[in-house]
Structure 1
Amino acid sequence: MKQEFKLNQEGYEIIEAVYSTKEVNTILEITESKNLENKFGIREFLLDHPDVSNKVFTKKLMEIIERVSPKCNKSIKSIYFDKPPSANWIVNWHQDLTINLTEKKETLFFKNWRIKDERVVVQPDIEMLESIFTIRIHLDDCMKENGALRVIEKSHNQGVIDIKEWVKNKAGVERICEVNKGGVIIMKPLILHSSKRTENQQNRRVIHIEFTEKELPNGLKWKEEIRLKRQA
């Protein structure tokens, strides 16, 4: 499939019109009822808001998940992001290198353990990182002028990158991932990505969800696992 091929080769893929305007507006109505206007990065979002989760996992999204990873049976992290004019920040180049667990248990090749806000954060082994894929659901038009995601093509193939060294040379092809309302970006967490400040005073609301088909070793448990229900 095209989506899977480009995701594996380039590290990202844009798919438009995954959600209809009506579906997005329904999600926005729910989020707006929760008074999220001044909350710009809400973790465990779907776990804490199952009414949103029910609207997010549509037939189209499940078809995309199955094409990317036929054995994938769970999401492991979700974050609601906004970048409104009142909180207009830059996100520097980085990779997403951590997962959230319920407790710390020393495990081979798991490192950089931290305890943050009732969750345990750790960098897992490279096999686990490479198994994860992210879907970013766009609730607004997201263009260059309002902080669209920027990626370095194929950088996910380089493993864990020394960011300071990479910044000195800036090797690779940069792409700006413009996405219309209702579209999604599928990306590998190991791809280098960043975003600039918003220039047009428009919101950039995104639901970021991470998935994997792999199970944790050594009795470790995900902090926010949601089991996926296959469409009939």
Structure 2
Amino acid sequence: MNYARNKIELEENGFSVLSDLYSENEISGILACIENAEQDGNPFMKTKDLFAIRQLIKNVPELSDLLFNKKLNKLIADLSESEYFLTKAIYFDKPSESNWFVAYHQDLSISVDKKADLENYVNWTFKKGQHGIQPPIEILQDTITIRIHLDKTDKNNGALKVIPKSHLKGIVRADSKDWNIESEFVCEIEKGGAMLMKPLTLHASNRTTNGKKRRVIHLEFNKHKLTEPLAWLEHYGIKKPVANIV
């Protein structure tokens, strides 16, 4: 179990795909945990096109041990020598009848605990009770996104499309044509697999056309402390993998 190839692909192309992060039983346990926790409240968003749970670990704490299995802990350790921690956890359920699609974009916002007037922190938002902010670019460059797929996902049920190497161009204007759409790659993921991504990688997803669900847990990790008085809204440490003792 070595993720050196995924680390190289993530750095060079801005994304990487792996197939067997979780077993069938582990996925069943994760889904049961989420289903038992579904309730109304500010972190829960329900529409005909999407069900989402924000601040997932805070709102469904039983998920933590299920998500952070040996493979995920080893993956995070292999991706960086630095001390990374979890800064965002969201559950997305794109129902089978969903007409929701997302145009090409970069993930430029992080969630913080308060609003403060600071240099290089721009584009403040306040949605669903959360402050969002575009931080200094080095924080975005050092973010690692891991999207855990609870269903097999292909081009017919909303698999992410990406523009390889687009993360190397920095922040791209939404109306810019400074990328080659012909290089588009569709990230088809097996159930229990995961997609790794840099948030500056241009990505999009289509509507569902095959009547199948696409349930994903979106995790973001970082190593930076934010400029005071700001702090990450979510901040969870990661257990280090324990070496096998013979």
User: Shorter chain as normaliser: what TM range?
Assistant: over 0.9
5+ residue gaps, structure 2? 40-44
Does the alignment pair 1:48 with 2:59?
yes
Equivalent AA in structure 2 for residue 51 of structure 1: E
1:30-51 CA deviation, whole Å, 9 max, x = no partner?
Answer: 1122237956222111221111
Does structure 1 conserve the Cα–Cα contact (< 8 Å) formed by 2:77 and 2:240?
A: no
Equivalent AA in structure 1 for residue 128 of structure 2: D
TM-fit CA distance, 1:170: 4.8
Distance 1:35 1:48, change over 3 A: closer
Q: Percent identity?
A: 39
Q: Distance in 1 between matches of 2:128 and 2:193?
A: 31
Q: Which residue of 1 aligns with 2:27?
A: 24
Q: Distance in 2 between matches of 1:76 and 1:7?
A: 19
Question: SS of 1:61's equivalent?
Answer: helix
Does the alignment pair 1:70 with 2:70?
no
Does structure 1 conserve the Cα–Cα contact (< 8 Å) formed by 2:98 and 2:207?
A: no
Does the alignment pair 1:182 with 2:187?
no
Q: Which residue of 1 aligns with 2:117?
A: 106
Write the mapping of 1:86-105 to structure 2, written as runs, cut at 5 A: 86-105=97-116
More helix by share: 1
Q: Which residue of 2 aligns with 1:151?
A: 162
Calculate the aligned-residue CA RMSD, in Å: 1.7
Of 203, 212, 232, the residue aligned with 1:222 is 232
Q: Which residue of 2 aligns with 1:165?
A: 176
Equivalent AA in structure 2 for residue 133 of structure 1: I
TM-fit CA distance, 1:172: 5.6
Question: How many residues align structurally?
Answer: 231
Does the alignment pair 1:80 with 2:91?
yes
Does the alignment pair 1:201 with 2:211?
yes
Question: SS of 1:87's equivalent?
Answer: coil
Question: SS of 2:78's equivalent?
Answer: helix
Higher alpha-carbon deviation: 222-231 or 184-193: 222-231
TM-score, L = length of structure 1: 0.94
1:121-155 CA deviation, whole Å, 9 max, x = no partner?
Answer: 10001111101010000000001111111000000
TM-score, L = length of structure 2: 0.89
TM-fit CA distance, 1:218: 2.2
Higher alpha-carbon deviation: 115-124 or 74-83: 115-124
